[in-house]
């Protein structure tokens, strides 16, 4: 690391090397200072050995690390701020007055031109105010004030753009695909492989509920793809052989075989950024209100300037009103506060897709929970396999795992994990797998129809029966567990008993959510009344509803909204998607189904429900900060106008204090809303 600083690429390599080490909990590399801060577990000597083994040439860094690094962007904006400040101070010290004044006059053309363009478009907005303030200063030959105003406006523009891009970049990176494995189709056989092994031209199989990891052409199958995240289309788009699919979109129905065209992540990352920047849903109403109010206040500022001149016939007093406006601060401080809150949420493993959803979270009074994977742990476990035919438990579990591994649900993961723990491996021995949302799976194995799913699906929809002589065994199934039923050729073959442990923090989280402002906390689940009642009693929710289908959850959300409640829905599965979409704010668990994460407005870390409490506190604090910013902006600028009109301070000083206060309020808005112990 000898020399002035670490190269940006080398800093990213070191950052990646440290971040993937099991003993490292946090690492931050500072290229300018040529050092790094590392938090780790274990002995100091082991950490030093790990650093000694490091070599830039030996570390293989995935492509997405380069694409998602914000290091170059941060350095660029920091350099802009430094050079603007150095040049502003330097010209005062070293440039002769005539040259300095000429430069200021030339620089003013940009602001005056923007103001004239706005007037030609019949808009009286902030650009007109800025241009007028600069032009009047020049007409009065007050080059010092004009230069100071333009410097502060320039600094404000850089800070606003930097904060906006940084927040959008953090948000886009958190939304970027985290797909580690895909089904690769080779010689008619499917193999589960790491995404990094997939090359251009390979064929991959995408099943319902999964995110499409690469751009490509459909070669087989049919389905409906939700492309809203990329194209803005509200309805799923039918896809068949010959159709084109985009990385980051979600297969809502059917199954597709896709020939990969592009494995690079840059194109999808850029589309996500573009989607974020162009989407109006990102803007909270407080941001929109601030912008509209800012533009409306420009007219009143001009009116105040004219009235002051007519009443006092004093140009300096009139300029005091013109130099001080509310609109600049409103347009800068409020959006920065919202974007900074989104950034802070991302540091707490909370992905927020727009300021609108933080505002709605602050207003929400009702929160609905799905049970499985949210109030209960995201890792249910198989406790028992009860056979109903002459087949070993291992073979029955092998068949179940073979089907379940294709679908992203916590119960399915439990079955697959149980097979892995028992050392059960298998070849793909089934035909096409069909997934029926909230019901189960249907396929064919060695010519026999196999279905696996809920009681309702297996016995009522499919008309399966319990084998003769097995009725007593069926009636004596342990009631404390959830049951997954598997039938072969319409005859019950096995019942897989699954324990879905309650999250340790669930009861405390529900209690804290109530303290944070939620009046109603409700649990909705497709489980039986017995299981639902047990969980609800232990967690302490206000009410619960059992044996609820996906459409019933969405209908319940709509009923609550119609009753005047502001509703948050928390879920993790494909069957939660309709309710997540219908709620004022849909919140998905990070390791839940990909379609749920795609549809949700906010994603929280799967490790703890405390993220919900943090989210509520963060949202409430944001609204408090916005209201405080309004008070400060109105208070400070009103005092400056009164002091200017009374002649106590000069217009140059008014402009200076106004711009400094605007930057101070904006910079304060970039601070974290929560202390580390609060989060």
Catalytic site positions: 370
How does strand 434-436 pair with strand 381-387?
unpaired
H or E element at residue 206? strand 203-207
Q: Assess contact for 596 and 574: CB atoms under 8 A.
A: yes
Measured CA to CA, the distance from residue 427 to residue 93 in angstroms comes to 78
Where are the alpha helices (H) located in 583-648, listed in sequence order? 594-599, 610-645
User: SS3 for 25?
Assistant: strand
Tokens of 83: 């050079």
User: Which residues, 6 or more positions from 82, have their beta carbon under 8 angstroms from its beta carbon?
Assistant: none
Closest-CA residue to 309 (of 299, 301, 318, 320): 318
Contact criterion met (CB below 8 Å) for 134 and 110 = no
- Which distant-in-sequence residues (6+ apart) come within 8 Å of 257 by Cβ? 185, 203, 204, 205, 206, 218, 219, 220, 221
Could you tell me how far CA 544 lies from the centroid of its own chain? 29
In a 13 Å sphere around the CA of 566, the CA atoms on its Cβ side amount to 12
Report d(CA 449, CA 467) in Å as an integer.
Answer: 16
HEC readout, 489-512: CCEEEEEEEEECCECCCHHHHHHH
Distance of CA 84 to the CA centre of its chain: 33
Main-chain dihedrals φ then ψ at residue 640, nearest 5 degrees:
-60, -40
Strands 543-545 and 520-524: parallel
At residue 488, the 3 state secondary structure works out as strand
Per the CB < 8 A criterion, the answer to whether 124 and 118 are in contact is yes
Q: Is the dihedral of CA 315, 316, 318, 322 positive or negative?
A: positive
Find tokens 């904060």 and name the residue.
Answer: 163
Rounded Cα gap, residues 415 and 405, in angstroms: 8
Backbone angles phi, psi at 223, to 5 degrees: -175, 180
């Amino acid at each position: 690391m000898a020399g002035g600083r670490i190269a940006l690429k080398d800093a990213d390599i070191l950052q990646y090397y440290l971040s993937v080490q099991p003993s490292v909990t946090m690492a931050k590399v500072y290229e300018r200072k040529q050092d790094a801060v590392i938090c780790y577990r274990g002995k100091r000597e082991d950490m030093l050995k790990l650093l000694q083994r490091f070599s830039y040439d030996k570390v293989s860094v995935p492509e997405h690390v380069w694409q998602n690094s914000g290091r170059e962007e941060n350095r660029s904006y920091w350099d802009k701020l430094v050079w603007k400040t150095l040049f502003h101070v330097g010209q005062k010290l070293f440039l002769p007055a005539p040259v300095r004044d000429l430069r200021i006059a030339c620089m003013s053309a940009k602001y005056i031109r923007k103001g004239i363009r706005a007037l030609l478009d019949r808009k009286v907005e902030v650009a007109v105010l800025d241009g007028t303030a600069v032009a009047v200063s020049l007409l009065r030959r007050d080059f010092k004030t004009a230069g100071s105003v333009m410097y502060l406006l320039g600094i404000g523009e850089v800070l606003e753009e930097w904060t906006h891009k940084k927040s959008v970049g953090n948000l886009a990176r958190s939304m970027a695909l985290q797909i580690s494995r895909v089904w690769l189709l080779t010689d008619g056989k499917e193999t589960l492989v790491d995404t990094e092994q997939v090359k251009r031209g390979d064929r991959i199989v995408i099943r319902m509920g999964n995110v499409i990891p690469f751009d490509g052409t459909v070669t087989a199958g049919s389905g409906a793809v939700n492309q809203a995240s990329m194209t803005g289309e509200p309805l799923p788009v039918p896809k068949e052989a010959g159709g084109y699919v985009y990385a980051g979109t979600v297969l809502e129905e059917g199954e597709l075989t896709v020939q990969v065209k592009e494995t690079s992540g840059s194109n999808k990352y850029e589309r996500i950024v573009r989607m974020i920047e162009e989407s109006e849903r990102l803007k909270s109403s407080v941001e929109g209100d601030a912008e509209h109010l800012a533009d409306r206040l420009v007219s009143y500022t001009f009116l105040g300037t004219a009235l002051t001149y007519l009443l006092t016939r004093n140009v300096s007093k009139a300029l005091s009103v013109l130099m001080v406006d509310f609109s600049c601060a409103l347009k800068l401080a409020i959006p920065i506060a919202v974007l900074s809150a989104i950034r802070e949420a991302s540091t707490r493993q909370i992905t927020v897709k727009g300021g609108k959803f933080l505002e709605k979270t602050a207003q929400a009074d009702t929160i609905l929970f799905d049970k499985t994977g949210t109030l209960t742990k995201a890792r249910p476990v198989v406790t028992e396999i009860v056979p109903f035919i002459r087949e070993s438990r291992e073979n029955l579990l092998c068949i179940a795992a073979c089907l379940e591994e294709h679908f992203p649900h916590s119960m399915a993961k439990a079955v697959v994990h149980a097979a892995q723990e028992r050392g059960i491996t298998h070849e793909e021995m089934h035909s096409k797998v069909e997934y029926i949302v909230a019901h189960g799976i249907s396929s064919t194995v060695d010519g026999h129809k196999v279905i696996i799913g809920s009681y309702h699906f297996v016995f009522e929809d499919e008309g399966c029966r319990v084998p003769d002589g097995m009725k007593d065994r069926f009636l004596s199934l342990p009631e404390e567990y959830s049951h997954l039923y598997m039938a072969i050729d319409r005859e019950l073959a096995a019942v897989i008993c699954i324990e879905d442990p309650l999250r340790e923090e669930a009861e405390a989280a529900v209690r804290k959510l109530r303290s944070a402002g939620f009046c109603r906390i409700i649990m909705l689940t497709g489980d039986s009344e017995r299981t639902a009642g047990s969980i609800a009693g232990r967690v302490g929710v206000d009410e619960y509803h059992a044996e609820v289908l996906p459409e019933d959850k969405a209908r319940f959300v709509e009923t609550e909204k119609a009753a005047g409640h502001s509703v948050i829905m928390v879920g993790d599965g494909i069957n939660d998607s309709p309710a997540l979409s219908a709620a004022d704010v849909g919140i998905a668990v990070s390791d839940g189904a990909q379609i749920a994460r795609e549809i949700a407005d906010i994603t929280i870390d799967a490790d703890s429900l405390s993220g919900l409490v943090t989210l509520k506190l963060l949202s409430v604090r944001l609204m408090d900060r916005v209201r405080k910013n309004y008070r400060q902006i109105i208070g400070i600028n009103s005092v400056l106008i009164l002091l200017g009109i009374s002649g106590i301070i000069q217009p140059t000083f008014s402009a200076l204090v106004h711009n400094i206060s605007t930057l101070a309020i904006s910079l304060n808005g970039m601070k974290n809303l929560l202390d580390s112990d609060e989060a």
